[in-house]
Amino acid sequence: MIQPYLAKISIFPVKSLDGITLSQVSVLASGALQHDREYALFDQKGRFVNGKRNAKVHLLRSQFDADCQQLSLQVQGTDESVTFHLDKERSELEAWLSNYFGLPVKIKQNNFTGFPDDTNASGPTIISAATLAEVTSWFPDISVEEMRNRIRANIEIDGVPPFWEDRLFTKVGDSIQFQIGAVVFAGINPCARCIVPTRDSKTAVATENFQKIFVSKRKETLPDWTTPERFDHFYRLSINTKIPSSEVGKILKIGDPVSI
């Protein structure tokens, strides 16, 4: 008998930098998770400085304090480490990042919605542990933890088969309502992936033929329970969600049961 439960919570306080794992997290009025992608890096043209545009993002290791206010950065493969307060030392942090990337970098904060990739489905992204294991099996040189770092989902569900989360969306314009613990979600669509999963999360080295292999295997393993017309292409993994404003202040906790 399938008994889905919440197995892992990850948030990414600065969009595109390393995430942190939590035992519980609260829901904001916008439907975002507290502190998830609350900050983001921007260039002088107002574009995100992220892994899609700049592979040097992958070489930055980041750590946060419990309040997600102190950010420590280390350049992969070096002993250089610096720590800044995201509010009180923002100009110093921006100067360090500008020097690192070789271009002017500004940090912006949005503590209401954060900076989601999909502004129409701005809730947490969801994947199952079995899906990560299955996709990892397509690439002999990649570990499950590395695949997890490449996919960067917020919520991981266990106790289910691979691609179980593909049950959580339906045709365009509709949604699937489900619940994790006390929190109500609407499943919106399968998440289109970008160039980021093709690269090693710590070295930025591209995995040969990653997207080609992924697309072929994803098509081959597409489950019967999904909505196939949502796959205009097969470079999609995890699902995008919305959380209604009625859920503000509710807490998601490791071990919470999942029900549709």
Query: What DSSP designation does 236 have?
Result: E
In this predicted structure, the answer to whether residue 119 has a pLDDT above a threshold of 90 is no
- pLDDT value at residue 2: 73
At 216, which helix (H) or strand (E)?
A: helix 210-220
Can you tell me the mean pLDDT for 107-133? Answer: 93
- pLDDT value at residue 51: 87
Can you tell me the mean pLDDT for 25-35? Answer: 96
Residue showing tokens 């919440």: 6
Cβ neighbours around 57 below 10 Å, total: 22
Can you tell me the mean pLDDT for 73-100? Answer: 94
Under the banding of pLDDT at 50, 70 and 90, the label for residue 52 is: confident
- pLDDT value at residue 184: 98
Tell me the percentage of the chain whose pLDDT exceeds 70: 100
Please, which residues bridge with residue 183 across strands? 180
Cβ neighbours around 195 below 10 Å, total: 13
Say how far apart CA 37 and CA 114 lie, in whole Å: 5
pLDDT tens for 182-214 read 999 999 999 999 999 999 999 999 999 999 999
Can you tell me the mean pLDDT for 22-40? Answer: 96
CA distances from 36 to 74, 105, 147, 154, 157 (A): 21, 20, 20, 9, 18
Return the higher-pLDDT residue of 66 and 82: 82
- pLDDT value at residue 108: 96
Say how far apart CA 233 and CA 241 lie, in whole Å: 19
Radius of gyration of the chain (CA): 18
Per DSSP (E only), the strands in 45-182 are 60-64, 70-75, 81-85, 106-109, 126-128, 155-158, 176-180
Cβ neighbours around 37 below 10 Å, total: 24
Can you tell me the mean pLDDT for 74-102? Answer: 94
Q: Which two tokens stand for residue 92?
A: 């110093």
- pLDDT value at residue 1: 66
Q: Is the pTM of this model over 0.85?
A: yes
Q: Which two tokens stand for residue 141?
A: 């040189």
In this predicted structure, the answer to whether residue 28 has a pLDDT above a threshold of 80 is yes
Question: What is the rounded average pLDDT for all residues in the chain?
Answer: 95
- pLDDT value at residue 77: 87
Can you tell me the mean pLDDT for 223-246? Answer: 96
Can you tell me the mean pLDDT for 163-182? Answer: 96
